[in-house]
A = this chain, B = another copy of it.
């Protein structure tokens, strides 16, 4: 039995063969105890059937017991029939696991518009729960990967004054990653005993500071879901302010770590661009500027090519809609100042800059000269491989 998950959680996966691949593509997380749920979803109006199901569970305020995750079929834009398919899956799994249907959350990813292949689902669900305890965090993560080059998961043990708890984050996401999530599925587990109020508060805040600050291609998908399950199996209660603060901080760190992996594995990308905006009028302005830079195709392609074309970064700030004065804006690329008081500086450092641009992590620091507003986010570069992957994803 593999047991790297937090206490009381077990995982299983099977090969449902939703697509023509040689791997497990259906996963299950089961908790021996009821879990307090926190969750965030895509803001896309066309949210997929599994997202609708999860939203209902979240709104009901109930505890949950399980998460079923699949790759290869998104069940998005499938209308009432798609929703019915989700209900049937919940029913089957509920009977098998001895819990209620609405104690089972669903997360799915794949091509939009295709119905679930229910024959495959029914067949695979028969075998799924038998494997519980045989998979670890990596195995479960692999079961809902699509174009990901590597599984994205992390685990950490936290020593609180009341005892030790574990946090595990398992995510997928390569293309279609952008602020407010995009085709990103993520399951966060902890055995800490935490009230729903604090769990949701910490969760929303830390997801906003991590997953909502990464951008690969700017497309927000119909299926994005991030679920947080806390089952209390450690017996360690988060009561003191110190323990709560420490736990929240560790949650933030591990989410940022996995969010970084998402950008690192952005489809066809080779670099992680760290965008830091400072000196904005307020955080909202800083965020606006950061998103414009993160989303610029010209910035992404220049950095992919190792081209120190900093003018494209300034250009993106200029059209971001943020109120700045050109002669008050400053720019550092890879730690080298290249723009100050409205004019280029350090033109003679181009060779040094070209060397630094060969590294994987690229720092873009922009000072707007307006106030104390700050915002940071991560973006990927844009390479030929992105186009190759996305021009024939379905075939």
Contacts and interface: CB of A to CB of B under 8 A. Distances in A.
Which of A42, A45, A304, A341 has the most C-beta atoms of chain B within 10 angstroms of its own C-beta? A45
B388 A384 contact: yes
Interface string A55-93: 000000000000000000010111111000000000000
A318 B390 contact: no
A111 interface: yes
A386 to B, nearest CB: 7
Contacts of A390: 297-298, 301-302, 305
Contact of A311 (B112, B319, B323, B392): B112
Given A302-B390, A342-B79, A315 B217 contact: no
Interface residues on A, range: 35 or more
Given A217-B297, A327-B79, A44 B318 contact: yes
A297 B176 CA distance: 9
Nearest to A382: B387
A314 B78 CA distance: 12
Interface in A336-395: 338-339, 341-344, 382-384, 386-388, 390-395
A329 B298 CA distance: 32
The majority secondary structure among interface residues of chain A is loop
B315 A46 contact: yes
B218 A297 contact: yes
Nearest to A308: B394
A74 B344 CA distance: 14
A316 interface: yes
Interface stretch (A9-17, A191-199, A219-227): A219-227
A293 to B, nearest CB: 11
A324 B47 CA distance: 12
Smallest CB-CB A-B distances: 8 pairs: A112-B311, A305-B391, A46-B318, A301-B390, A44-B318, A79-B343, A220-B319, A79-B342
20 contacts: A45-B318, A45-B319, A46-B317, A46-B329, A47-B318, A77-B326, A78-B343, A79-B341, A112-B311, A113-B339, A113-B344, A219-B296, A220-B319, A222-B315, A222-B318, A297-B297, A307-B391, A307-B393, A384-B387, A387-B387
Given A45-B319, A222-B318, A309-B393, 7 more contacts: A42-B319, A45-B323, A77-B311, A77-B342, A77-B344, A80-B342, A298-B390
